[in-house]
Amino acid sequence: MVYGLAAMAEKKVIHRDFKLANILIHFPTLRRIDYMAPDFNVKDFLKAVKVEGCEGVTASTITAMEIKIADMGFAKKLEENQLAQTSLGTPLNMAPEVLFHRKYDTKADVWSLGCVFYEMLTGFTPFTGVSKQNLA
Residues classed as catalytic: 17
Helix (H, G, I), strand (E, B) or coil at 20: helix
Dihedral over Cα of 110, 111, 116, 117: its sign: positive
**What's the half-sphere exposure (Cβ side, CA atoms, 13 Å) at 40?**
11
CA distances (Å), origin 87, targets 20, 106, 107: 19, 14, 14
- Tell the burial category of 87 from Cβ atoms under 10 Å away from its Cβ (0-12, 13-18, 19+): middle
Round the CA-based radius of gyration of the chain to a whole number and report it: 18
